[in-house]
């Protein structure tokens, strides 16, 4: 997102700890309580200081990742052995092999370990130069008819703005099938030090600099433990390259060819480093920019991961505007946020999905966010952020058209980027009482959950006890005065850092917003701030306790 101060934008718009898998280790129940973990084998961490990771789980395979640090400066390559087993002691081996790495891959190793069984937990490790890595834990996707699925949803982890306390809390849990990362895994800047310094201490532009940024960040113990405990499904946003990235450029404030060199070279370097350092299945050679993809979790969930940033996005219609209306370039039907090829793939994926639920992994906010709300026909709405889907409204209308044309129901959009937690009902015309009723959800066709940032924006500035300008207070005020509310479809907002758990079964999707009190210093505290339920067959947001009472009357009042 172009504007670095998300909290101030939200105000304006509304106003208008580490746990290894060792003996006695701690893991978490679904309620956040802890229990003993499993024993671990001896390790040689000096050879594998960046830990291990897994990702992109399919029913029969998963990506395994590590980076080896060769013990001698004369080493030209490394032979790395890997093993997958059913047990954490690695006694019951089900797959194994070797892989070679060298400086051309920044000494990283990625293995697509296949021959696995669906819906199973596995343990894995690497060895090289006579030493072993830590043992990682991963899980394959289920097939058939699984009863449930739990995903941790994360985004926006600015290393300099705060500690990764939320990653640490995710690492402690053992009730997660996968972590879905919606982008801004790293930040390219070098001068925003608030809590800890950027490494290298420059804005990264070259391959070596991007590699150095990943390498320094992956030494963070909370991040390393989250990777070690859970497979990740990741997609980039803009900061993996440069703030305000679009298909052929970036925000002019952040990408000046005289200072930064050609954007094409920077984009290529950013892509290579990301694909080296993240446990993602490599794109096909003939289409190296394509990381949009989908995952099936039996007939329960189809997870559709979009790239709204690099592969198809046209340049933002206006940079750094305070507000805009849907006129001029903003109303141009030819402008793309996905690109024609990805857009058609997305619509085909929606049409062809037969799962109970369609979860859309999306970077920038899909729903409208307005300073002034008015029915679409009046063209009098004033929008807040041209970097979001609001800046590509005709493309968003095509999504609504596809949902209607193909009769697609039970859609949940999960979004990052905003540095805040939000929950919204998705509707084409939120300020038109004939098209949408916020009291009954009539007119909503999907829901959108925006996950809070892991650390980006850092801790909020202190406010006086009488201040009435926090986004949360403004939202409450607008909900109390429906006639003046420009965003009646927004049901929840909180600007603290944290993460979200998506708990999915056949009857409903439940979104739990877990928030950490601060990121400026370490803490193992987390609080369940809000839970929403989306019932099957209804595009509505219900308070989780109200849903429980409606489906289980005996629980009322307990």
Estimate the crossing angle of helix 471-480 against helix 6-15, to 10 degrees. Answer: 20
Q: 151 with 123, same domain?
A: no
Which distant-in-sequence residues (6+ apart) come within 8 Å of 62 by Cβ? 54, 55, 56, 112, 113, 116, 122, 138, 139, 140, 231
pTM of the model: 0.91
- DSSP tally for the chain: helices H, then strands E: 10, 26
Q: 289 with 421, same domain?
A: yes
Question: In this predicted structure, what is the pLDDT of residue 489?
Answer: 98
Whether residue 426 lies inside any domain: the answer is yes
DSSP characters over 273-340 = HHHHHS--PPPPTT-TT---EEEEETTTEEEEE---SSSSPPPPSSSS-S-B-S-GGGG-TT--SS-H
Q: Is 463 helix (H, G, I), strand (E, B) or coil?
A: coil
List the pLDDT tens digit at each of the 558 positions of the chain. Answer: 554 355 454 445 444 422 223 222 222 333 333 333 433 434 677 899 999 999 999 999 999 999 999 887 778 999 999 999 999 999 999 999 999 999 999 999 999 999 999 999 999 999 999 999 999 999 999 999 999 999 999 999 999 999 999 999 999 999 999 999 999 999 999 877 889 999 999 999 999 999 999 999 999 999 999 999 999 999 999 999 999 999 999 999 999 999 999 999 999 999 999 999 999 999 999 999 999 999 999 999 999 999 999 999 999 999 999 899 999 999 999 999 999 999 999 999 999 999 999 999 999 999 999 999 999 999 999 999 999 999 999 999 999 999 999 999 999 999 999 999 999 999 999 999 999 999 999 999 999 999 999 999 999 876 644 444 556 655 666 666 666 799 999 999 999 999 999 999 999 999 999 999 999 999 999 999 999 999 999 999 999 998 888 777 665 545
Whether residue 106 lies inside any domain: the answer is yes
Whether residue 464 lies inside any domain: the answer is yes
Whether residue 79 lies inside any domain: the answer is yes
Whether residue 1 lies inside any domain: the answer is no
CA gap 278, 9 in Å, rounded: 31
Q: 402 with 502, same domain?
A: yes
Q: 275 with 367, same domain?
A: yes
Whether residue 213 lies inside any domain: the answer is yes
Question: In this predicted structure, what is the pLDDT of residue 476?
Answer: 64
The number of domains in the chain is 2
Two structure tokens written together for 522: 């370490």
Two structure tokens written together for 419: 């540095």
Q: 122 with 147, same domain?
A: no
Q: 55 with 92, same domain?
A: yes
Q: 231 with 82, same domain?
A: no
Question: In this predicted structure, what is the pLDDT of residue 8?
Answer: 52
Of 84, 114, 141, the residue at which a domain comes to its end is 141
Whether residue 130 lies inside any domain: the answer is yes
Q: 312 with 458, same domain?
A: yes
Question: In this predicted structure, what is the pLDDT of residue 551?
Answer: 78
Of 113, 141, 169, the residue at which a domain comes to its end is 141
Q: 28 with 99, same domain?
A: no
Of 141, 160, 182, the residue at which a domain comes to its end is 141
- A 10 A CB-CB count for 93 gives 13
Residues of the domain holding 374: 6-40+142-555
CA gap 544, 531 in Å, rounded: 5
Question: In this predicted structure, what is the pLDDT of residue 193?
Answer: 80
CA gap 53, 101 in Å, rounded: 16
Whether residue 455 lies inside any domain: the answer is yes
Look up the CATH number of the domain holding residue 501: 3.60.21.70
Q: 391 with 286, same domain?
A: yes
Residue with token string 């085909």? 348
Residue with token string 């207070």? 473
Look up the CATH number of the domain holding residue 124: 2.60.40.380
DSSP 441: T
Contact by Cβ (8 Å): 182, 451: yes
Contact by Cβ (8 Å): 143, 118: yes
Q: 117 with 249, same domain?
A: no
In angstroms, what CA-CA distances link 97 with 84, 127, 257? Answer: 9, 11, 44
Q: 32 with 88, same domain?
A: no
**Cis bond before residue 83 (omega within 30° of 0):** no
Contact by Cβ (8 Å): 342, 312: yes
Question: In this predicted structure, what is the pLDDT of residue 552?
Answer: 75
CA gap 105, 90 in Å, rounded: 27
CA gap 270, 274 in Å, rounded: 6
Question: In this predicted structure, what is the pLDDT of residue 57?
Answer: 99
């Amino acid at each position: 997102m172009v504007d670095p101060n998300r909290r101030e934008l939200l105000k304006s718009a509304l106003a208008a700890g580490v746990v290894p898998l060792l003996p006695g280790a701690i893991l978490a129940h679904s309620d956040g309580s802890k229990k003993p973990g499993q024993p671990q084998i001896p390790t040689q961490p000096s050879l594998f200081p960046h830990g291990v990771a897994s990702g992109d789980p399919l029913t029969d395979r998963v990506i395994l990742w590590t980076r080896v640090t060769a013990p001698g400066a004369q080493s030209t390559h490394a032979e790395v052995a890997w093993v997958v087993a059913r047990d954490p002691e690695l006694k019951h081996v089900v797959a194994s092999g070797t892989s070679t790495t060298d400086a051309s891959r920044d000494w990283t190793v990625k293995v697509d370990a296949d021959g696995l069984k669906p819906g199973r937990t596995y343990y894995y490790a690497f060895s090289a130069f006579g030493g072993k890595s830590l043992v990682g834990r991963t899980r394959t996707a289920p097939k058939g008819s699984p009863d449930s699925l739990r995903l941790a949803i994360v985004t926006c982890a600015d290393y300099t703005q705060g500690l990764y306390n939320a990653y640490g809390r995710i690492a402690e849990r053992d009730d997660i099938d996968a972590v879905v990362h919606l982008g801004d895994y790293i930040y390219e800047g070098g001068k925003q030090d608030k809590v800890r310094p950027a490494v290298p201490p420059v804005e990264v532009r070259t391959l070596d600099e991007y590699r150095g940024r990943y390498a320094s960040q992956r030494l963070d113990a909370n991040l390393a433990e989250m990777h070690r405990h859970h497979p990740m499904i990741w997609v980039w946003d803009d900061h993996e390259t440069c703030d305000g990235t679009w298909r052929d450029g970036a925000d002019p404030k952040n990408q000046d060819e005289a200072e930064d060199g050609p954007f094409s070279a920077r984009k290529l370097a950013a892509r290579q480093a990301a694909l080296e350092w993240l446990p993602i299945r490599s794109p096909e050679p003939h289409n190296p920019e394509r990381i949009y993809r989908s995952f099936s979790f039996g007939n329960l969930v189809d997870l559709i991961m979009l790239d709204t940033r690099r592969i198809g996005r046209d340049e933002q219609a206006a940079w750094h505007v305070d507000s805009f209306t849907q006129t001029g370039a903003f109303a141009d039907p030819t402008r793309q946020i996905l690109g024609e090829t990805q857009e058609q793939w997305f619509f085909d994926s929606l049409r062809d999905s037969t799962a109970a639920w369609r979860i859309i992994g999306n970077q920038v906010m899909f729903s409208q966010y307005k300073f002034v709300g008015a029915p679409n026909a009046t063209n009098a709405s004033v929008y807040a952020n041209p970097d979001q889907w609001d800046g590509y409204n005709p493309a968003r209308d095509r999504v609504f058209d596809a949902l209607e044309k193909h009769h697609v129901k039970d859609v949940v959009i999960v979004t990052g980027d905003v540095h805040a937690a939000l929950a919204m009902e998705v509707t084409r015309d939120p300020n038109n009482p004939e098209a949408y009723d916020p009291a009954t959800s009539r007119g909503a066709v999907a829901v959108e959950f925006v996950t809070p940032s892991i650390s980006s924006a850092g801790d909020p500035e202190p406010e006086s006890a009488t201040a009435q300008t926090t986004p949360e207070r403004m939202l409450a005020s607008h909900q109390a005065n429906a006639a003046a509310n420009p965003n009646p479809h927004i049901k929840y907002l909180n600007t603290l850092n944290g993460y979200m758990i998506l708990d999915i079964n056949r009857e409903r999707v439940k979104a739990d917003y877990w928030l950490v009190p601060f990121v400026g210093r370490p803490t193992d505290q987390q609080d369940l701030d809000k839970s929403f339920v989306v019932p099957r067959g209804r595009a509505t947001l219900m308070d989780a306790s109200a849903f429980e009472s409606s489906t289980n009357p005996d629980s009322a009042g307990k």
